[in-house]
């Protein structure tokens, strides 16, 4: 088999890249280790920056999003029994769009289905060869049968535990990591959200988050110990703990219901540099992870795909390799700003330990946010999303 771009991973990064390339008649094959249903079963954050929505529109994949998504003009930070509103529209000049990653993935899958893209699900033992100078090849097995794809480029969109980054010689890669000593216990319910906008809560007992997928589906989180398992969080304990961490008016208005999903996520910041090695380009979680505070993960995957798709299109259309040469530096410049932002928001909102120093510093920063429009504007600009650089 031969293709122009072999894409590893059918998460949002791989599917969006494939869609943007196919619109320019660039041939690609997507190899995914899991089934489509498994990919759709993963629940992740759902706050989209304008840049991400624009890209989905450009890919011709925003019809349902434009009809169904919630547009949020602000969000809230609850602390000390008060609720501080960050007015994104006023402070940053634009809004965010609340639409679950699962729904985006479903829309991308449907667009590909309509176009007949070659997405190979249950492709196991994927291995990458000759991407350091010779024409690259990708091997995989499906149903016990071995296959080989010859290609011009490989896009490694296979997430944090994929094969692409692992295939780059360790000496060619620098990695940077911060692990946080806590996790998020998350619950999805078919109940109306407790507030119209997303609420992040800083509380002495730990962080809490009230989010949503729609007007009738809510997503709630509480900070938990890294050693906790879902079994440690019976429903009653979860709702109790969430209420205790919210201001009274919110706690009183919370509508609870049977969870349709419960999971624990560890928090991690991670960056691998560079994001290119020869003909192999990394995009999305394959190259970087951010903690979910601020919901930047999917937005970063989208901005990587923006830069990478433009670079590949310029290569095939105009024989211009400038974008391929600068891809890694451009993508990383945006990645590090989101890494900084999500790290700082994580530090501001979580219980970081047992000391009494950090809570005081957090209170000072929250007080500064209350009083300073400039401080709120900086937060809003980062939350709503920094512009793409040309």
According to the binding rule CB under 6 A, does residue 224 interact with ligand PHB? no
According to the binding rule CB under 6 A, does residue 291 interact with ligand APR? no
Say whether 292 is catalytic: yes
According to the binding rule CB under 6 A, does residue 111 interact with ligand PHB? no
Q: Which residues ranging from 142 to 181 are in contact with ligand APR (CB under 6 A)? A: 157-159, 161-163
Say whether 38 is catalytic: no
Nearest to 66 by CA among 77, 74, 56, 76: 56
**Which of the choices ligand APR, ligand PHB, none does residue 163 contact, using the CB cut-off of 5 to 8 A by kind?**
ligand APR
Q: Which residues ranging from 277 to 296 are in contact with ligand PHB (CB under 6 A)? A: 292-295
Nearer to ligand PHB, 136 or 385 (CB): 385
Say whether 140 is catalytic: no
The C-alpha atoms of residue 100 and residue 149 are separated, in whole angstroms, by: 33
According to the binding rule CB under 6 A, does residue 298 interact with ligand APR? yes
According to the binding rule CB under 6 A, does residue 297 interact with ligand PHB? no
Q: Which of 112, 288, 296, 350 is catalytic?
A: 296
Say whether 181 is catalytic: no
Torsion of CA 185, 46, 83, 193, to 10 degrees: -80
According to the binding rule CB under 6 A, does residue 222 interact with ligand APR? no
Say whether 200 is catalytic: yes
According to the binding rule CB under 6 A, does residue 297 interact with ligand APR? yes
Q: Respond yes or no on whether the N-terminal peptide bond of residue 274 is cis (omega within 30° of 0).
A: yes
Nearest to 20 by CA among 342, 330, 323, 306: 306
According to the binding rule CB under 6 A, does residue 14 interact with ligand APR? yes
Strand order in the sheet with 96-98: 47-48, 96-98, 70-72
Nearer to ligand APR, 155 or 366 (CB): 155
Q: Which of 193, 259, 292, 350 is catalytic?
A: 292
Smallest gap from Cβ 101 to ligand PHB, in A, equals 8
**Which of the choices ligand PHB, ligand APR, none does residue 298 contact, using the CB cut-off of 5 to 8 A by kind?**
ligand APR
CA 291, 381, 59 angle in degrees (round to 5)?
A: 75
Neighbours of 258 (CB within 10 A): 9
Smallest gap from Cβ 379 to ligand APR, in A, equals 20
**In this structure, what token pair is assigned to residue 60?**
């011709």
124 touches 141 (CB < 8 A): yes
> Which x/- pattern, by CB under 6 A, does the window 83-122 give for ligand APR?
------------------x---------------------
* Contact pick of 197, 273, 285, 365 for ligand APR (by CB under 6 A): 285
The C-alpha atoms of residue 85 and residue 298 are separated, in whole angstroms, by: 24
**Which of the choices ligand PHB, ligand APR, none does residue 136 contact, using the CB cut-off of 5 to 8 A by kind?**
none
**Which of the choices ligand PHB, ligand APR, none does residue 13 contact, using the CB cut-off of 5 to 8 A by kind?**
ligand APR
The C-alpha atoms of residue 31 and residue 234 are separated, in whole angstroms, by: 38
According to the binding rule CB under 6 A, does residue 193 interact with ligand APR? no
Total of chain residues touching ligand PHB, rule CB under 6 A:
10
Q: Which of 180, 220, 221, 383 is catalytic?
A: 383
Nearer to ligand APR, 12 or 74 (CB): 12
Residues annotated as part of the active site: 72, 200, 292, 296, 383
* Residues binding ligand APR (CB under 6 A): 8-14, 31-34, 39, 44-45, 101, 123, 126, 157-159, 161-163, 284-286, 297-298, 301
* Residues binding ligand PHB (CB under 6 A): 45-47, 198, 211, 219, 292-295
């Amino acid at each position: 088999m031969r293709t122009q771009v072999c894409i590893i991973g059918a998460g949002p990064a791989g599917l969006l890249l494939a869609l943007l390339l196919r619109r320019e008649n660039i041939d690609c094959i997507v190899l995914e280790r899991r089934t489509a249903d498994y990919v759709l079963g993963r629940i992740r954050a759902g706050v989209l920056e304008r840049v991400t929505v624009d890209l989905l529109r450009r890919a011709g994949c925003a019809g349902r999003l434009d009809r169904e998504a919630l547009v949020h003009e602000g969000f809230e930070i609850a602390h000390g029994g008060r609720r501080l509103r960050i007015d994104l529209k006023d402070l940053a000049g634009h809004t965010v769009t609340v639409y679950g990653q699962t729904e985006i993935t479903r829309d991308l899958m449907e667009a590909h289905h309509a176009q007949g893209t070659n997405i190979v699900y249950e492709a196991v033992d994927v291995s990458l060869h000759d991407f350091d100078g010779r024409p690259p090849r990708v091997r995989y097995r499906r149903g016990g049968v071995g296959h080989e794809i010859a290609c011009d480029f490989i896009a490694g969109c296979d997430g944090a535990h994929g094969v692409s980054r692992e295939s780059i010689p360790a000496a060619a890669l620098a990695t940077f990591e911060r692990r946080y000593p806590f996790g998020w216990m998350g619950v999805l319910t078919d109940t109306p959200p407790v507030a119209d906008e997303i609420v992040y809560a800083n509380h002495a007992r730990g962080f809490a988050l009230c989010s949503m997928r729609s007007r009738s589906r809510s997503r709630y989180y509480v900070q938990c110990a890294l050693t906790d398992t879902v079994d440690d969080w019976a429903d009653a304990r979860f709702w109790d703990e969430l209420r205790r961490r919210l201001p009274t008016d919110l706690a009183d208005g919370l509508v609870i219901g049977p969870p349709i999903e419960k999971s624990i996520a560890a928090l991690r910041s991670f960056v691998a540099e560079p994001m290119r090695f020869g003909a192999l380009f990394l995009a999305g979680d394959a190259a970087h992870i951010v903690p979910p505070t601020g919901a930047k993960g999917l937005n970063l995957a989208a901005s990587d795909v923006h830069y990478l798709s433009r670079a590949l299109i310029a290569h095939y259309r105009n024989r211009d390799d400038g974008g391929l040469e600068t891809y890694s530096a451009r993508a990383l410049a945006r990645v590090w700003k989101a890494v900084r932002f999500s790290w700082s928001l994580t530090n501001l909102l979580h219980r970081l330990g047992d000391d009494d120093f950090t809570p005081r510093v957090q209170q000072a920063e929250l007080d500064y946010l209350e009083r300073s429009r400039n401080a709120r504007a900086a937060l809003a600009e980062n939350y709503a999303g920094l512009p793409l650089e040309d």
